[in-house]
Chains A and B, each alone.
Chain A
Amino acid sequence: MVIAFIVMASTSQALAHAALIKTDPADGAVLAQAPARFSLTFSEPVSPLVLTLVRPDGTPVALTSFRLSEQTVEIDNPRALKSGTHVLSWRVISADGHPVGGSLLFSIGAPSEPPDVSEAIDWPLRSAIWIGKVLLYAGLFFGIGGAFALAWLAGDGRAGQRFVAGAILCGLVAAPLSLGLQGLDALGAPLSHLAQPVVWRTGLGTSFGWTVLIALIALGLGLVSLAAPRAAARPLALAGLAGVGAALAASGHASAAEPQWLTRPLVFVHGAGIAFWAGALVPLGLALKRQAAGAVEFLRRFSWAILPVVALLAAAGIVLAVIQVRTPSALVDTAYGRLLLVKLALLVFLFTLAAVNRWKLTASAEAGATEVQRRLTRSVGVEVLIVLAIFGVAAGWRFTPPPRALAIAAAQPVSVHIHALQAMADLSITPGHAGPVSVSMIIMTGDFGPLDAKEVTLVLSKRDSGIEPLKRAATKPGDGSWRVGNLVIPVPGRWTVRIDILVSDFDVVKIEAPIDIRP
């Protein structure tokens, strides 16, 4: 628990996937000569993992000298660049522990055919990450949950102990392996680089590193509890169960969502609840199958406790799903939503089985009806398989940004800095996609001095779209900026933004620049 709260406190700054806001040079820029440095500005602090400059002939150059200042990564350009189109490929890690990447094109002299830097999906690595996750879940839920069930519910019965020990060992292998795979994914390196120390350091440096550390401790506690005498086993198993919740709350989409004070405890409850339920299934099923002494007692305790646990587990899951998915349409429109639908379908099946077990079979099984106990055993076996399938689906979320993060990324403003001899402006359009937006402008003189304009007019035009220029007078809210609200940008694409600055009664300065509006 203590660990859980330390993690929650230490990473409470975490937001979501970082989104690229501004670059220098701008994407698509044509420069007279090579810049001395590049800069990338994100929506939140990030740490760079791989920065590569791809030259016009396709040869990559690793950029290793960079500085971080708040949300901006400043990268030194190590060498003179020949003319032609270059690609600056970047890969950074954001606060939720997931790497994000992209690239920007710029040309020296004149544009040339851009070098090919398509980022292919590394399927072997993806499969390995997915398998690692499923095995880790099996270790956490079947292993530690099983140890908890044996210590708290099974009485003197030890049925399923070997399975539980096996699951924990499987988790103990999967946890560190997942860390290495996370490192590979973060660096965009293939599976064959798994042995390199930098991969492991990188994996440990992400928030997933915390998940693995806490999971290892929890797995250790679970394993020790199996061997310990009853009095010691119970607190050990309980700590292990709490560790499962804490490990899951330490990283991942759901834990990175806002509001953190709500999502992290919910992930904790959800994780611990799954461990309680899933963990008890195999020991209970085996105890019933073998008609072991105390099996009926085990069943009674489990069925007494499972209702409130499932209620909590489901409530936490529903709230998290609502936070992540936001709109019902996202359930169908996004990969994340579709995985959730699959999981829900499996859950309906699982809940039906569980309800039949709980309300139809349990009473007679407790009364000692052998035939019913056998049916119950079979049913529990099926439940275990469904639970495994659910683990598989949940592990798939590793690769799908939740609609919440997609919405945050879409809501990021687009900004442009327009610099002319007589005046310059920092303009940002929020959100940076087509639809209703508001525009904020800071107007300065050409040498960064204050410019007290009499009037500022914004003109947005898109010549290729057949849309007449949108012209709006800006207002001065009093914070030094000029604003245009209630503006609707009808279509995405490259627009030309022009700012007409009335410097004095008879002097107008017009500055303009292209700006890319996202769909």
Chain B
Amino acid sequence: MNRYLLAAGAFLVLGTNAAFAHITLETQEAAVGSTYKAVLRVPHGCDGKATTAVRVQIPEGVIAVKPMPKPGWTLQTKKGKYEKSYQLYGQAVADGVKEIDWSGGNLPDEFYDEFVFRATLTADLPAGRKLYFPVVQECGDAAARWIEVPAAGQDEDALENPAPGIKLTPKK
């Protein structure tokens, strides 16, 4: 039994190792109806080129988004209407940030950096499923698009450019 667990553990470690090359979120799990601090980890540029912009698309059901400014980067957000209105501290919220854009920076390929935002995961989100935050990483005129979301039944590891995602857990 122990050996089995060990093997499974090794498999998990090895399995997630592959994801280190991608842009990922530091905290891989969060409960619906909670506040989530998203830390986007950018491990490298696009095919050796320095990263100059990071853009994140906010999925439906994620509201009250507040990105953290970064020295040397211009921070902008795109706002828009949500598909429906959500309750936040007893108030209806129908629009907000849909996209965050850190640009004008320079993160060489050999360096690592993190991009942070805070958001509320509404209670309407389906617990037990994964929630994806598609990211476009720009490197001058090149770009790496971490925007692939697995189709139903598709293995996430089979994707070339998976979008970073978190597992939604039930409301506490």
Contacts and interface: CB of A to CB of B under 8 A. Distances in A.
A502 B148 CA distance: 11
Contacts of B57: 505-506
16 contacts: A502-B145, A505-B55, A505-B57, A505-B136, A506-B57, A506-B134, A506-B136, A506-B145, A506-B147, A507-B134, A507-B147, A508-B145, A508-B147, A508-B148, A508-B161, A510-B148
- Tell me the interface secondary structure of chain A in the complex: strand
Contacts of A505: 55, 57, 136
B83 to A, nearest CB: 16
Nearest to A459: B160
A507 B134 CA distance: 9
B137 to A, nearest CB: 12
A506 B136 CA distance: 7
A448 B66 CA distance: 40
Contacts, number: 16
Output the residue of B57, B136, B145 with the most chain A CB within 10 A. Answer: B145
Contacts of A510: 148
A502 B144 CA distance: 12
Among all A-B residue pairs, the 5 with the closest Cβ atoms = A506-B134, A506-B57, A506-B147, A508-B147, A505-B136
Interface in A402-417: none
Interface string B136-169: 1000000001011000000000000100000000
Say whether chain B's binding surface is mostly helix, strand, loop, or mixed. Answer: strand
Size class of the B contact interface (CB-based, 8 Å):
under 10
User: Which interface residue of A502, A505, A506 has the most chain B CB atoms within 10 A?
Assistant: A506
Interface string A490-519: 000000000000100111101000000000
A505 B134 CA distance: 9
Contacts of B145: 502, 506, 508
Contacts of B55: 505
A510 B149 CA distance: 11
A507 B148 CA distance: 8
A502 B136 CA distance: 12
A262 B79 CA distance: 69
A507 B145 CA distance: 9
Contacts of B161: 508
Interface in A104-119: none
Nearest to A502: B145
Nearest to A508: B147
Interface in B29-68: 55, 57
Interface string B62-83: 0000000000000000000000
A406 to B, nearest CB: 40
A502 B161 CA distance: 13
Given A506-B134, A507-B134, A508-B147, 11 more contacts: A502-B145, A505-B55, A505-B57, A505-B136, A506-B57, A506-B145, A506-B147, A507-B147, A508-B145, A508-B161, A510-B148
Contacts of B136: 505-506
Contacts of B148: 508, 510
A25 to B, nearest CB: 25
A255 to B, nearest CB: 54
Contacts of B134: 506-507
Contacts of A508: 145, 147-148, 161
A300 B14 CA distance: 97
B61 to A, nearest CB: 16
Nearest to A471: B160
A505 B54 CA distance: 12
Interface string B13-37: 0000000000000000000000000
Contacts of A507: 134, 147
A507 B99 CA distance: 14
Nearest to A421: B151
Contacts of A502: 145
B45 to A, nearest CB: 18
A500 B150 CA distance: 14
B115 to A, nearest CB: 16
A502 B55 CA distance: 16
A505 B99 CA distance: 11
A488 B166 CA distance: 41
B164 to A, nearest CB: 12
A299 B147 CA distance: 89
B140 to A, nearest CB: 16
Nearest to B159: A510
Nearest to B148: A508
Nearest to B59: A506
A508 B134 CA distance: 11
A510 B150 CA distance: 11
B148 to A, nearest CB: 6
Contacts of A506: 57, 134, 136, 145, 147
B157 to A, nearest CB: 15
A518 to B, nearest CB: 29
A506 B163 CA distance: 9
A303 B145 CA distance: 82
Interface in B122-140: 134, 136
A428 to B, nearest CB: 25
A508 B149 CA distance: 9
A507 B57 CA distance: 10
Nearest to B136: A505
